[in-house]
Every structure is written in structure tokens, then in C-alpha cells.
Amino acid sequence: MKIKWALLAVLFMIATVLTGCEPLLVLDPKGPQAETQAKDIMLSIWLMSFIVIVVFSLLIYMLVKYRASKQSEDYEPPHIEGNKWVEAIIVGIPVLIVAFLSVVSVQSNYKVEATPEGYEDKEPLVVYALSSNWKWHFSYPEEGIETVNYLYIPTDRPLEFKLYSYGPITSFWIPQLGGQKYAMADMVTTLHLAADVPGEFMGRNANFSGKGFAENTFNVTAMSQAEFDEWVKEVKETANPLTEEKFEELLEPGHLGQLTFTGTHLEFAPAPEGEHSGHDHGSDSSNHDEIESDESHNEHENHEEHENSDHH
């Protein structure tokens, strides 16, 4: 009896604590990509809950039905052969469940990797999201502005984030808009998102990247296109220009508040795209040209030696 009341007390305490918790951000989507992922999560939760209930119900039934009884010491239970149908069910059902979830996951992956549904005919807002220890730099090349540790975006418009890093691998994540994606050095990854409604959201680095990881966050504000255009205009009129010296200073390890600049670092430190994406690994173009020049010179000398040898 005491155990019963103890269990009830624990369940009541858990329920009381959970009532004060805010809803999980991933289950409170504000964009089409996040909504797709939230549906998959809930589908998995309900499916697993059904499986757990069925398994525990069968366990209780078996324990009660075949519990120990007062039989004589010489009692010998009858020999029972295996049932092919039972074996097929207990093997086949898990296979079907895994296959079903696999198909759903693959379909969802294709959706979240592409332009959000319903936004295919709209021009995306391109934002270069650069991470450094332990900050986020957001460049708006079309608007000619750059922010640090905060992001303004328009609603009802596709967003195309170009992600890369000036340090360790990080993970760009806005839970209410979509899943995370890695930002790496010497290459650019693309993440497609969209915000259906205005509001303020939390963004962060979801990949451990050193002692400043916990505070490697940024604020996201979604607003109408008109408000976004007004903000861009205000920034161009009031913000200081971003110089190469200032950008180098911002890359130093540490934490900063929210900063705003006119111009972007892409003008003097372009993103690692095109033929250099993922191939330079830190080498500059002059070194690349020198290597090519040395190779051409060696080939020329070898050619001359071959011709002289033929002449003699």
C-alpha cells in the first residue's frame, strides 16, 4: 500500500513540474520546414507510445496468466511447439515500423533541403552566416549591411543561408524555423528556411566548439517585408562602415553584444565558394599561382632535356 501511494506521489510531482515548463521549441514551429520536422517528431512519439503500451499490456497479461501456481512437485508442463504465425508477427511488425519511419524520414529530408513549399516562385533573401569563436556574423550582400549576434528577416519570403566558419565546425540552428546544419571552414553549406509569422526566435550554435559554446547564441526577429526594408534603410543611414581592420578584430575569440555595420566582410574576405570551396584548406591564391608556375617550369625543363637527348 505504501508503495502505491509513493508512486502516485511521484507521478503527481512530475505532472506538477511539467505544467510549469514552456513548450519545446521544436514542437512550436513558425515556418514550413520546422512544421515538417515537428510532424515527424510527433508521428514518432505517438507510434512509439503505441508500441510501448502494447508491449507492456502483453507483458502484464503474460505475467498474470502464466504466474506460478500451487502445482504438485512432479508437475510437468506440456511440450508446446513454436508458432510460425507468432514468430512472423513479432519479426514482421518491427520491420514494417522501421521501413515506414525510414520512408517518412527520407521524404522529409528532401522537403527540408529544398526551397520551402509555397515559396518556390518568390525570390529568396540570401544571408551569409559566418561563425567565429564565439560569435555569429550575418552578411546581407544584396542590402549591403552586416550584423553580429542578431538576425532580422522578412516573413513570407524564402531564406537562403550560406553557412561557413572562421574556426571550428559549428551548427546553425533556429529551432522554430527548421533543423540545424553545419558551418565549416573552406566550404559553404546552404540551408533553406522561411518564417510564416512575425516574432522573436532563439538561434544558437548546436555543436560544441570550445569554452564559449554555451553563450554562442543569436536573436532572430521576423517582420513584414515593409518593416524589413525600413530597417535596412535605417541601418544604411546610421551604422558605421565595416572595415577590414574591424572585421579582423571581431574574429578574435570572445563574446560580443549585438553590432550593426554598413557594407559586408564579403567585399574584402569573400566566402570560400566556387573552385576554392573545400580545396584550398587555408592556402592563398598567390601560393596556388606559385605552385602552378613551378610545375610549369619543371615540365618545360623536362621537355627541353628530352629534346636534347633525342638530338644527341
Neighbours of 32 (CB within 10 A): 22
pTM more than 0.95:
no
Q: What is the pLDDT along the chain (312 residues), one digit of tens a residue?
A: 566 566 666 666 665 554 444 568 888 999 999 999 999 999 999 999 999 999 999 999 988 887 877 777 787 877 877 788 888 988 999 999 999 999 999 999 999 999 998 899 999 999 999 999 999 999 999 999 999 999 999 999 999 999 999 989 999 999 999 999 999 998 999 999 999 999 999 999 999 988 888 889 999 999 999 999 999 999 999 999 999 999 999 999 998 999 999 999 999 999 987 433 443 433 344 444 443 444 444 444 454 444 444 444
Query: Are 264 and 242 spatial neighbours (Cβ–Cβ below 8 Å)?
Result: yes
Q: Give me the pLDDT at residue 283, please.
A: 39
Q: How far is CA 114 from CA 39, 120, 192, 194, in A?
A: 17, 9, 6, 11
Spatial distance between the Cα atoms of 302 and 64, rounded to a whole number of angstroms: 88
Report d(CA 262, CA 214) in Å as an integer.
Answer: 29
The closest of 40, 37, 30 to 180, measured between CA atoms, is 37
> Which residues are within 8 A (CB) of 272 and not within 5 positions of it... i.e. 6 or more apart?
164, 185, 186, 187, 188, 278, 280
Rounded to whole angstroms, the Cα distance separating 48 from 43 reads 9
Q: C-alpha cell of 147? A: 550584423
Chain-centre distance of CA 224, in angstroms? Answer: 25
- Assign 3-state DSSP to the chain and report helix, strand, coil percentages, each to 5: 45, 20, 35
Q: For residues 244 and 257, give the distance between their C-alpha atoms in angstroms, rounded to a whole number.
A: 19
Cβ-count burial 37-56 (b if 16+ within 10 Å, e if not): bbebeeeeeeeeeeeeeeee
